[in-house]
Amino acid sequence: MDSRLYSQTLGYTGKDGEQTGSPLHAGQVVDRFRLEEKLHVGGMAHIWRVSEVNHSGDSRLPLIMKVPRIKGGEDPATIVGFEVEMMIMPMLSGAHVPKFIAKGDFTRQPFIVMECIEGLSLKPRLDDAPLALDEVIEIGSRVATALHDLHRQHLVHLDIKPSNIMFRPDGTAVLVDFGLSRHDHLPDLLDEEFMLPMGTGPYMSPEQVQFVRNDPRSDLFALGVMLYHFTTGERPFGQPDSVRGLRRRLWLDAMPPRALRADCPPWLQEVILKCLEVKPERRYHSAAQLALDLQNPSQVALTRRAERLQKSGAIKTFKRWFFALGDEPGQQRDKASDQLARSPIILAAVDVDNATGELLERLRETVRRIVVTEPGARLACVSVMKTARIGMDELVDEQGQSLHVKQLVGLKHWARPISKGLNLDEGRLTFHVLEASDAAAAIVEFARRNQADHIVMGARGASGLRRFLGSVSSQVVAESDCTVTVVRAAGAPTLEPPA
């Protein structure tokens, strides 16, 4: 890739090295888009508000055009990064990315037209750090949810930072700027053409420093850096501006957040430091598993990470430095989607109060068989405590015991043989009692919110009332976005895909 080639194609180079042959201006029409107002001038691109000349269905969206700042002979990475983004954006869909509209070729005028996400990025919030803990947790949960959606679309972002995160009016996190990203189904031009680590210094993962660009857990490291900064007001690894400085994170760990902020709870420190582990395999296996912990603090399994109040000692640091000297991992062959496939969230929906012993045993055995084939799986055991649509609910039984706690105990009792048989640690097994009038809707919503990959649930035997009203399992099958396995008491388990 030679930036001088594009200089010759697009015009001559001005004093500052930027293309000036045909400068863009308000009112100009580029392809079918009219430039209305220049919104932003960044180091790598101009952002214009545009309108579509020939109205179409997509023209109702507010639109922006991103145009690269091409500097002749100076910054080929800018050109390659923009080319990467032009390839990647049409491959992505959903609420967590701007809707792609059109692109222009480098032979005429390179640009990308996309949906305009109203509002500011997270970058201004850095000036307000440390933030309230509730806001830190909410930001982390929403961004982790967005990351998991992109990872499922075979993308590793590789440049997660506050300036690349925006929010829709309903609070949905939107990730932008895919110039450094890698997609499983596209050539990795940055890896092919450059021999330097690619990313933003404070947020780069150790493996990115070592030229590994295909691990989705790199994005979890960057999110951990962001959560650390929002929690403490400090960057965990400073702001290095050299490869030598970047490599220090291979052996130097961050000051524990609780040492900088006394009201940081141990569970949040556990989550943040787990994201910042040097070895990817010691981090969360998926962004969905991280989001699940952030949404369920009481379920976070605490380790020594949660107790730390100072950095590692000199001897341990020296050992890390010594082993890091020769630790240069080769490029992984796995795709981003392969890592996610090994780290599913399995949701076991258990009716602990009404299911027969036979059905509970069959359900337990089915769950056990599924989990045993997925070494990185997270098992979320869910039970629904039915509440009345109208009127008051009894929250205690005849002995005055909490019905919620009673159901939670029953759920844990059901799962105990699974956890013991498979030696599941607490970090891979969580329990949730949902209070809802509609059990099926509660299960579907929990699965969707926590991005479950597989729901396993039981179905009671046929009856006239069940045929008339419909069953919880059939409703879950019809409305769920993921695979649903329905286990029946009289017969073998059957796999019912979602409608």
Range of lowest pLDDT (57-61, 295-299, 438-442): 57-61
Where in the chain do CATH 1.10.510.10 domains reside? 123-326
Low-confidence winner among 130-134, 221-225, 255-259, 406-410 (lowest mean pLDDT): 406-410
Q: Which of 130-134, 211-215, 353-357, 366-370 has the highest mean pLDDT?
A: 130-134
Q: What is the pLDDT of residue 397?
A: 65
| Homologous superfamily of the 3-115 domain (CATH) | Phosphorylase Kinase; domain 1 (3.30.200.20)
Stretch 86-114: mean pLDDT: 93
Q: Which of 73-87, 185-199, 287-301 has the highest mean pLDDT?
A: 287-301
Instruction: Inform me whether the pLDDT recorded for 13 exceeds 80.
Output: no
Q: Where do the CATH 3.40.50.620 domains begin and end in the chain?
A: 344-496
Residue 51 CA to residue 381 CA, distance in Å, equals 49
Give the Cβ contact number of residue 378 at 10 Å.
Answer: 26
Task: Enumerate the CATH 3.30.200.20 domain ranges in the chain, comma separated.
Answer: 3-115
Euclidean distance between CA atoms 413 and 236, whole angstroms: 41
Choose the CATH number for 123-326 among 1.10.3210.10, 1.10.510.10, 3.40.109.10, 1.10.1020.10.
Answer: 1.10.510.10
Please tell me which of 45-54, 132-141, 233-242, 303-312 the model is most confident about, judged by mean pLDDT. Answer: 132-141
**pLDDT-above-70 percentage for the chain:** 83
CATH of 344-496, one of 2.40.30.170, 3.40.50.620, 3.30.930.10, 3.40.30.10: 3.40.50.620
Share of the chain above pLDDT 90, in %: 54
